[in-house]
């Protein structure tokens, strides 16, 4: 009986914790998607799951393509990015923007479909 009561109390306590208590620190939070608009202080991104995200960039934000540093001004609408965030709390602030290909470049790199005769 005593063991069951202790188990019940532990389960109740665990369920009562807010979701933020379950989040583990030290985990990099990222947003992946395509830039819809780039400004000097923020990026607007259409995420891979179709949501819109506005992400603040500042002087500490690194912008890279592979290992090559870039300027934020080089990031244009249509560019695919992976953005590492300081946290998931609003406002979203980028620590790093990893730049991929533009949608046009990615489409051009795909081989043409073969016609079967």
Question: Which domain CATH number covers 73?
Answer: 2.40.50.320
The sign of the torsion formed by the CA atoms of 30, 33, 36, 40 equals positive
* pLDDT at residue 57 in the model: 97
Look at residue 34 and tell me if it is in a domain.
Answer: yes
For the chain, what is the domain count? 1
Q: 60-115, pLDDT tens digit by residue?
A: 999 999 999 999 999 999 999 999 999 989 999 999 999 997 666 556 666 666 66
Q: Would the pLDDT of 27 be above 90?
A: no
Kindly state whether residue 5 falls inside one of the protein's structural domains.
no
The domain in which residue 47 lies consists of 25-109
Task: Flag whether 51 is in a domain.
Answer: yes
The residues near 5 (Cβ < 8 Å, ≥ 6 apart) are none
Residue 48 belongs to a domain: yes
Q: Give a yes or no: residue 16 inside a domain.
A: no
Residue at 20 is within a domain: no
Q: 75 and 97 in contact (C-beta within 8 Å)?
A: yes
Residue 17: the pLDDT is 44
The fraction of the chain above a pLDDT of 70, given in percent, is 63
Q: Is 101 domain-assigned?
A: yes
pLDDT score, position 22: 41
Distance CA 21, CA 1 (A): 30
What mean pLDDT is reported for the chain?
Answer: 80
In a domain, 98, yes or no: yes
């Amino acid at each position: 009986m005593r063991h069951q009561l202790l188990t019940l109390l532990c389960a109740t306590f665990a369920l009562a914790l807010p979701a933020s208590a379950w989040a583990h620190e030290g985990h990099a939070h990222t947003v992946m998607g395509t830039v819809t608009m780039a400004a000097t202080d923020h990026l607007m991104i259409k995420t891979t799951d179709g949501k819109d995200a506005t992400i603040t960039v500042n002087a500490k934000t690194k912008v890279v393509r592979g290992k090559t540093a870039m300027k934020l001004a080089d990031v244009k609408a249509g560019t695919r990015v992976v953005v590492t965030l300081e946290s998931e709390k609003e406002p979203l602030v980028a620590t790093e923007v990893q730049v991929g290909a533009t949608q046009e470049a990615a489409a051009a790199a795909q081989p043409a479909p073969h016609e079967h005769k």
